[in-house]
């Protein structure tokens, strides 16, 4: 409930601030209708970096994984009101390493020379309000603010271990009693849940006499000690163009950077990057 109130406050504050409205009225909309765009992308991400707790970060040899993101955009001809973009992105991966030092994570201690496994499950929803500073058939440029509703969970699991005690009695013969404890699987987990303000920029350049256009967009953290950003660049090919729908195939490259400093006791320096393919439908 608190997160929804924060997102709503963010939206209202930008929508009804007179100074902001005056600033972003350089170019009127190209038409007088409301437009709806739906889209999605699949991308193969390579993952690099380290994470852990303060002064105790480890490289877990994170694996390549397929990621998805999808979005909805509403644009309108009213110059004083921002357009709306809502998108959701998932970033999941897993890895394994053999510890060369003692590792503490999520109130659990993992010992030297143990194999440890990790799963990374991150997702975020971006609520973006933006203005089209320039909009023509050949070129557009968007600028706005994003409230990123960030959710993540990282789990570290050690190998199964057990201990035993041995007590021996007598001399001839010697009788020994061995007591074996139940197997233990150490597991540490840190969850994060936070809304971050970010700057949103986007542009699209149509290539004359072709069905191709070049696009780029990104979100960049505005405040805090963290270094968080993501951007993508690519090509869009128009498959269908009629009165009902415009259908486009997209291909490009995407990067997501998450360098977190003490976000719910979590420290990371992770980067996801790779090529994507997607489709958009504009009504």
SS3 state of residue 77? coil
User: Rounded CA gap, 115 and 190, in Å?
Assistant: 19
18 exposed, middle or buried (CB, 10 Å; 0-12, 13-18, 19+)? exposed
- pLDDT, one tens digit for every residue, the chain (283 residues): 445 444 444 444 444 443 333 333 334 444 568 899 999 999 999 999 999 988 889 999 999 999 999 999 999 888 889 999 999 999 999 999 999 988 999 888 888 888 999 999 999 999 999 999 998 889 999 999 999 999 989 999 987 655 556 666 666 666 566 655 455 677 889 998 889 999 999 999 999 989 999 999 999 997 777 889 999 999 999 999 888 889 999 999 999 999 988 888 889 999 999 999 999 999 9
Helices assigned H by DSSP within 27-93: none
List C-alpha distances in Å: 127 to 107, 143, 200.
Answer: 33, 14, 10
**pLDDT given for residue 91 in this prediction:** 94
Number of other CB atoms surrounding residue 215 within 10 Å: 19
pLDDT at 161: 57
- Interatomic CA distance for residues 147 and 189, integer angstroms: 26
Residue-level pLDDT at 160: 61
Q: What is the pLDDT of residue 226?
A: 85
Q: Where are the domains of the chain?
A: 2-102+123-153+189-282
- Report which of 85, 120, 111, 110 is spatially closest to residue 202, judged by C-alpha positions: 85
Smallest CA-to-CA distance from 224 within 191, 186, 194 is with 194
Local structure of residue 159 (DSSP, 8 states): P
Q: Is 198 helix (H, G, I), strand (E, B) or coil?
A: strand
Domain 2-102+123-153+189-282 fold is Lipocalin (2.40.128)
Rounded to the nearest 10°, the torsion over CA 24, 28, 30, 36 is: 50
Contacts of 13 (CB under 8 A, 6+ apart): none
pLDDT of residue 79: 83
Is residue 212 exposed (0-12), middle (13-18) or buried (19+ Cβ within 10 Å)? middle
């Amino acid at each position: 409930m608190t997160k929804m109130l924060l997102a709503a406050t963010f939206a209202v504050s930008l929508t009804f601030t007179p100074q902001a409205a005056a600033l972003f009225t350089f170019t009127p909309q190209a038409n007088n209708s409301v437009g709806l765009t739906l889209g999605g992308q699949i991308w193969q991400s390579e993952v690099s970096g380290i994470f852990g707790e303060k002064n105790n970060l480890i490289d877990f040899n994170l694996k390549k994984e397929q990621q998805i993101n999808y979005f909805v955009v509403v644009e309108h001809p009213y110059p004083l009101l921002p357009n709306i973009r809502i998108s959701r992105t998932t970033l999941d991966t897993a890895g394994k390493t053999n510890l060369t030092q003692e590792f503490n994570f999520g109130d659990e201690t993992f010992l030297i020379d143990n194999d440890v496994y990790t799963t990374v499950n991150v997702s975020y929803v971006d609520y973006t309000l933006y203005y089209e500073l320039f909009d023509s058939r050949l070129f557009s440029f968007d600028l706005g603010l994003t409230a990123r509703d960030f959710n993540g969970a990282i789990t570290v699991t050690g190998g199964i271990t057990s201990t035993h005690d041995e007590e021996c009695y007598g001399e001839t013969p010697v009788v020994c009693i061995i007591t074996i404890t139940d197997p233990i699987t150490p597991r540490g987990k840190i969850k994060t849940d936070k809304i971050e303000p970010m700057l949103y920029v986007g542009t699209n350049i149509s290539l004359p006499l072709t069905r191709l256009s070049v696009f780029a967009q990104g979100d960049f953290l505005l405040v805090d000690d963290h270094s968080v950003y993501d951007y993508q660049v690519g090509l869009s090919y128009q498959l269908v163009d009629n009165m009902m729908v415009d259908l486009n195939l997209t291909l490009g490259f995407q990067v997501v950077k998450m360098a977190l400093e003490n976000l719910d006791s979590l420290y990371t320096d992770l980067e996801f990057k790779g090529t994507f393919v997607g489709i958009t439908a504009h009504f």
